[in-house]
């Protein structure tokens, strides 16, 4: 079992750091799945955490790492699965936040008494021309192949409607306030590009409408329908406000655009495209009320 | 309103009582504000009490809150403060103020316009928010209105021989309040035509004593009109409830007389023109 990778570009290093920092805000533990061409992270995989939602990130190795080599424990294994503290990993990467002074960063799986995921950043200091090496060893648990079924990369649900939300900041504010007034909120969208966030309680009913959003995808529930009789379908799902809010407040990425998929009565799928093949997902399961 | 009706028909909104579907003209009250900021700050300063009494009349909007029988705050807004203000006869209802404040803060620090509508007895108060920098976003809130008892009427006798009035700059008084010993349980206010003119002393801290004196010639004082010496003590915990109002105030009036009833008047200015007033009445502690 071997793994090593290297990052060089300051922007990519910063993005990588932001992704991990986001995960660290959501959960204590994270699962790292190292595949041949991809790196995945999953937090709250057990799906029953009370406040934080299930979040996962998939990173195409070719995008971030000019050097990426993964050798699994056995030849027939497709990947290496590691469990570690998200906060430790995030702290190990903290040096990358100020990308300008970091030359490169190596990631390495090694055994120092116990298995460790080492982050080795080569930092240029002002005092000397020689770069320093900042090394963090994050202890990890290697997940045995027999336990892998528990840590599968979640499937992206099939949403009936996917809308693209241009202003994350406004949505974050709204959801943050809604959570103080109602335990659940409803995402309701229609094919006209309108998204409604509805929260109801005994004292108050609040409806926030976002109009003229870009429709990314529209799945017809009944594909045999003719175009003429097609009624623009609505989709709606009620979710836990605190879960939604904790996802939005955890986000550390500078992206402003988010796509919101609604699988009626089932779940909300939030997707943040950092790059074309670097994607952060979250699923907010439906709740009854 | 038309929007929420559609959502109700689709089953997304379930509470039918919160819908108001009538024509614009049928409203008992319609108020429109271009900027939310000052109004929101004022509402937040009233949030120490749970239920507020809202009254609309030709003279303007009033919201009164009480906590116990010893502190009362009232917000006054002149119709001139509103970009649009229509009212059909005097109406009054109760409102959960923290819910109202939370609704107003939905868009965070973003500036938006507020429209308030009220149809009449039993109907909810409708609050419409529209951010200025984004035409594609809007919020409708329907807040349940309640029945409440009439608040107590406090009043200082304008002709009293001991009526003392001081006008001060808001930020200065805010600094003074902030510097007072937080451990003190009681504060003693002395207003007098002679020195020390205006004095606040902390009471009830073991082995510590602090006083602040402001002379009438100070720059902090805008108007000084004291007829007689008055001394009264107030619970500092209750005085602290005024902090949020004080923070937003540009000018403060302090009024009291021999009875010790303290009236504080906070003037909040938004932009240049009109002001919102928040008035507090605080009853004194009994003499020892």
Which chain A residues are within 8 Å of B141, Cβ to Cβ?
204-207
ipTM (interface predicted TM): 0.80
Instruction: Identify the CATH number of the domain in which residue B41 sits.
Output: 3.70.10.10
Q: Flag whether pLDDT at A44 surpasses 80.
A: no
CA distance A38 to A61: 5
Residues B139 and B176 occupy one common structural domain: no
Q: Is there a domain that residue B245 lies in?
A: yes
DSSP strand pairing (A114-123 vs A102-112)? antiparallel
* Residue A260, min C-alpha distance to chain B (Å): 16
> What pLDDT, on the 0 to 100 scale, is given for residue A229?
44
Among A170, A205, A209, select the one facing B18 at the smallest CB separation.
A205
Distances B27 to A123, A205, B72, B126 between C-alpha atoms, Å: 67, 19, 29, 11
Closest chain B residue to A177 measured between Cα atoms?
B106
Same domain, B65 and B118: yes
**Inside any domain, residue B207:** yes
Mean pLDDT computed over A178-200? 90
Establish whether the linkage from the previous residue to B196 is cis, with ω within 30° of 0: yes
Q: Which domains does chain A have, with CATH numbers?
A: 2-150 (3.70.10.10), 161-285 (3.70.10.10)
- Are B44 and A235 within 8 A, CB to CB? no
Whether residue B32 is found in the same domain as residue B142: yes
Closest CA to B187 of B197, B198, B195: B198
Is the same domain home to B80 and B168?
Answer: no
A230 DSSP 8-state letter: P
pLDDT digits (tens, 9 = 90+) for A128-160: 778 888 899 999 999 998 888 888 888 888 888
Contact A140, A115 (CB under 8 A): yes
Residues 185-224 of A with CB under 8 A from B: 186, 188, 196, 198, 200, 202-213
The answer to whether B15 faces chain A, any CB pair under 8 Å, is yes
Backbone angles phi, psi at B173, to 5 degrees: -65, -35
- A267 to each of A139, A159, A187, A198, B133, how far by Cα in Å? 34, 8, 10, 16, 31
Confidence tier at B23 by pLDDT (50, 70, 90):
very low
Q: Do A174 and B103 touch (CB under 8 A)?
A: no
Q: What does the DSSP assignment read for A126-180?
A: SS-SSPEEEEEEEEEEEPPGGGGGGGPPPPPP--SEEEEES-HHHHHHHHHHHTT
Q: Select from B104, B96, B71 the least CA-distant residue to B242.
A: B71
**Co-location of B125 and B199 in the same domain:** no
Per the structure, the complete domain to which residue B71 belongs is given by 24-146
SS3 content of chain A, % helix, strand, coil (to 5): 20, 45, 35
Residue where a domain stops, chosen among B146, B179, B210: B146
Question: Residues B57-80: what's their mean pLDDT?
Answer: 88
Q: Tell me: the pLDDT tens digits for A207-264? A: 999 988 888 877 655 555 444 445 567 888 999 998 999 999 998 888 778 999 998 8
Q: Mark whether B77 and B184 lie in a shared domain.
A: no
pLDDT digits over B209-236, tens only? 888 998 888 888 888 988 888 889 898 8
Residues of B in contact with A200 (CB under 8 A): 13-15, 18
Which letter does DSSP use for residue A24 in this model? H
- The verdict on B176 and B271 lying in the same domain is yes
Q: How many domains does chain B have?
A: 2
Query: Which of B230, B221, B233, B240 lies closest to B180, judged by CA?
Result: B240
My answer on whether B140 and B194 are in the same domain is no
- Do B117 and B228 belong to one domain? no
Give yes or no: residues B129 and B194 share one domain: no
Same domain for B126 and B207: no
Residue B277 lies in a domain: yes
Are the beta carbons of B136 and A186 separated by less than 8 Å? no
pLDDT of residue A115 exceeding 90, the answer is: yes
What is the DSSP code string of chain B? Answer: -HHHHHHHHTTS---GGG---S-GGG-SEEEEES--HHHHHHHHHTTTSSEEEEEEETTEEEEEEEETTTEEEEEEE-GGGSSEEEE-S-EEEEEEHHHHHHHHTTTTTS-EEEEEEE-STTPPEEEEEEETT-TTEEEEEEE--B--PPPPPP---TT-TT-EEEEEEHHHHHHHHHHS-TT-SEEEEEE-SSTTSEEEEEES-TT---EEEE-TTSTTEEEEEE-S-EEEEEEHHHHHTTHHHHHH-SEEEEEE-TT--EEEEEEEE-SSS-EEEEEEEEPPPPP-
Residue B183, in any domain of the structure? yes
Write down the pLDDT at residue B15. 74
| Contact: A209, B3; criterion CB under 8 Å | yes
Residues of A in contact with B124 (CB under 8 A): 205
The B residues from 102 to 141 touching A (CB cutoff 8 Å) are 102-103, 105-108, 110, 124, 131, 134, 136-141
Domain shared by B233 and B186, yes or no: yes
């Amino acid at each position: 079992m071997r793994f090593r990778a290297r990052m060089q570009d300051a922007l990519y290093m910063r993005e990588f750091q932001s992704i991990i920092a986001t995960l660290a805000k959501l959960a204590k533990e994270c699962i790292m799945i190292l595949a041949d061409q991809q790196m995945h992270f999953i937090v709250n995989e057990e799906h029953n955490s009370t406040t934080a939602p299930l979040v996962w990130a998939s990173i195409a190795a070719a995008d971030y790492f000019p050097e990426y080599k993964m050798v699994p424990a056995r030849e027939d294994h497709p990947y290496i699965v590691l469990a570690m503290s998200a906060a430790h990993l995030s702290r190990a990467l903290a040096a990358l936040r100020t990308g300008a002074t970091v030359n490169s960063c190596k990631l390495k799986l090694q055994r120092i008494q116990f298995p460790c995921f080492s982050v080795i950043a080569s930092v240029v200091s002002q005092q000397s021309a020689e770069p320093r090496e900042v090394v963090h060893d994050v202890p990890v648990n290697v997940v045995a192949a027999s336990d892998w079924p528990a840590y599968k990369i979640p499937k992206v649900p099939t949403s009936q409607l996917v809308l693209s939300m241009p202003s994350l900041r406004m949505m974050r504010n709204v959801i943050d306030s809604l959570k103080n007034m109602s335990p659940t909120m409803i995402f309701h969208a229609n094919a006209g590009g309108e998204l409604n966030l509805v929260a109801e309680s005994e004292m108050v009913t609040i409806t926030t409408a976002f109009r003229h959003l870009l429709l990314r995808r529209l799945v017809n529930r009944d594909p045999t329908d003719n175009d003429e009789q097609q009624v623009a379908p609505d989709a709606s799902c009620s979710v836990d406000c605190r879960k939604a809010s904790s996802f939005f407040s955890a986000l550390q990425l500078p992206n402003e655009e988010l796509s919101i998929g609604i699988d009626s009565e089932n779940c909300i799928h939030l997707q943040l495209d950092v790059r074309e093949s670097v994607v952060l997902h979250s699923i907010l399961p439906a709740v009854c009320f | 309103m038309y929007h929420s009706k559609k959502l109700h028909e689709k089953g997304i909104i379930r509470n039918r009582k919160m819908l108001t579907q009538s024509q614009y003209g049928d409203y008992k009250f319609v108020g429109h504000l271009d900027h939310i900021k000052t109004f929101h700050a004022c509402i937040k300063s009233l949030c120490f009490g749970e239920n507020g009494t809202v009254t609309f009349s030709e003279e303007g909007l009033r919201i009164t809150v009480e906590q116990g029988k010893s502190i009362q705050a009232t917000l006054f807004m002149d119709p001139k403060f509103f970009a649009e203000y229509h009212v059909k006869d005097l109406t009054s209802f109760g409102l959960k103020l923290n819910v109202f404040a939370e609704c107003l803060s939905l868009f965070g620090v973003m500036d938006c316009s507020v429209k308030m509508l009220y149809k009449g007895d039993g109907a909810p108060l409708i609050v419409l928010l529209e951010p200025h920098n984004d035409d594609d976003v809007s919020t409708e809130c329907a807040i349940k209105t309640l029945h409440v008892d009439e608040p107590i009427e406090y009043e200082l006798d304008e002709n009293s021989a001991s009526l003392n009035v001081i006008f001060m700059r808001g930020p200065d008084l805010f600094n003074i309040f902030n510097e007072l010993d937080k451990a003190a349980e009681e504060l003693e206010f002395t207003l007098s035509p002679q020195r020390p003119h205006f004095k606040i002393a902390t009471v009830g801290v073991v082995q510590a004593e602090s006083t602040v004196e402001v002379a009438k010639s100070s720059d902090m004082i805008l108007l000084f009109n004291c007829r007689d010496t008055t001394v009264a003590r107030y619970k500092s915990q209750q005085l602290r409830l005024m902090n949020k109002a004080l923070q937003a105030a540009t000018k403060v009036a302090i009024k009291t007389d021999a009875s010790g009833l303290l009236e504080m008047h906070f003037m909040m200015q938004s932009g240049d023109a009109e002001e919102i007033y928040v008035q507090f009445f605080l009853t004194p502690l009994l003499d020892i």
